[in-house]
Amino acid sequence: MTVKVRFAPSPTGKLHVGNIRTALLNWLFAKSQGGTFLLRIDDTDLERSTEEFEAGIFTDMAWLGLTHDETAKQSSRFAAYDEAAASLKAKGLLYPCYETAEELDRQRKLQRAQGKPPVYNRAALELDDAARADLEGQGRQAHWRFKLSGTTVVWDDVIRGSQKIDTGSLSDPVLIRADGTYLYTLPSVVDDIDLGMTHIVRGEDHVTNSAAQIEIFRALDAEPPAMGHHPLLIGADGGKLSKRLGTLSVAGLRDEEQMDPMAILSLLAKIGTSDPVEPRPNLSQLVEEFSFGKIARAPARFDPAELDSLNAKLLHEASYTDVEARLAQINATCGEALWLAIRGNLNGLDDVAGWNDIVSGQIDPVIAAEDQEFAKAAAELLPETIADDSWSDLTNALKSETGRKGKGLFMPLRLALTGQKHGPDMGVILPLLGAKKAKARLRGKRA
């Protein structure tokens, strides 16, 4: 069997880290098996779906490197959904219901008060043709429910193991709204059949929905794909992440946070697994390490601070070629020499601008009163031409002349030359400053 999986976002908003974790697990599984990854745009909600959001999906996936082998678009497949709905109606498995939302709510409240599960009571199945005609004459439009078998649906989940869902404890799912539009369930099943999905991998919030869909697959004379349900993301504090997902969009992490895509992918691939959460240099390594067996049953903790740490580690190892285009996008002026000097001290790409200002711009030197004569002496000892060993020559000479050593020797010089208590190796920074700028700063002048 050739593996074929899909990622099926709706173009009604921006992709966020929760979406991407599902996409990534599907992509890694497909590539680890030599299979096919399908990107399906679930745009049956024509009112809320937009071309802008759809374009954003393709942009985000391409930036992350999660390239698709095939694409599909639900809005072009309504004829197939209509045919499937007609088949289910002919089999008596898709039936019309006329209750309003208020009536259904009262029904559920009454059931709870009676200690019963709040599931649909199937009253619509008792309606005869005359009763339905009377309701329609009152202006009511039917919504259509799928008649569940009431038996136990069993499957071997590729992540969770053996699963059993009693469909007798579920409400018959609505597949078609009163306005004639389709909910997610039926189009998804029809697409999975027609497009040849072998596995459906998604969040564990779909476990119950999967039981209903398995029955729909069989009602349409198709064998259900293998199912896999991964744990959902939670916050670092163990709380729900769902309310914050909108602020963790791929576009925001890329354009505003300047994240390396491999930082995002490394974190999402490894949290909640038995593997260490460390940056991986490329997707190929993530593919080699992938296994559903490594995914724990507990929710995966997503910590933005951990993402920042992974991003910084990747920057510390990045070549100038790796980041040149990204630096241009944020208008950060930085040559290769400066990049190699500062990369080990960066927390994010935004830090580059500050170091470029320090090296190429003007700063006010930070010199304590007790260090002013020491700094002036350093200016006199500094040669007119800075070489690679000028820093070590300068500090050795100052140590001999003043007796200073350790922090008392190095910190006043660093503050005078960069205005910072911490930073890159001064032996690398000094040649980038040049003698004129360095001497001026050591003498307390803005330069």
| CATH number of the domain enclosing 130 | 3.90.800.10
CATH code at 418?
Answer: 1.10.10.350
Range of the domain at 428: 362-442
Per the domain annotation, does 403 fall within a domain? yes
Statement: residue 244 has pLDDT above 80: no
Per the domain annotation, does 404 fall within a domain? yes
pLDDT band of 410, cuts 50, 70, 90: very high
Per the domain annotation, does 303 fall within a domain? no
The DSSP element (H or E) to which 162 belongs, if any, is strand 161-166
Number of domains making up the chain? 3
Q: Which two tokens stand for residue 280?
A: 């991986």
Q: How far is CA 59 from CA 209, 286, 384, in A?
A: 30, 21, 51
**What is the model's pLDDT at position 328?**
87
**Do both 330 and 402 map to the same domain?**
no
**What is the model's pLDDT at position 88?**
98
Per the domain annotation, does 87 fall within a domain? yes
Among 18, 25, 77, 11, which Cα is nearest to 290's?
25
Q: Average per-residue pLDDT in the chain?
A: 94
Among 207, 216, 182, which Cα is nearest to 10's?
182
Statement: residue 31 has pLDDT above 90: yes
Statement: residue 141 has pLDDT above 80: yes
Q: Quick one: average pLDDT of 174-184?
A: 96
Statement: residue 29 has pLDDT above 80: yes
CA–CA distance, 151 with 287 (Å, rounded to integer): 38
pLDDT band of 242, cuts 50, 70, 90: low
**Do both 346 and 422 map to the same domain?**
no
Enter the pTM of the model.
Answer: 0.90
Burial class (CB in 10 A: 0-12, 13-18, 19+), 373: exposed
CA–CA distance, 398 with 408 (Å, rounded to integer): 11
Helical packing angle, 261-270 and 17-32, nearest 10°: 80
Residue in the structure block whose two tokens are 């354009």? 255
Per the domain annotation, does 272 fall within a domain? no
Per the domain annotation, does 377 fall within a domain? yes
Residue percentage of the chain with pLDDT more than 70: 99
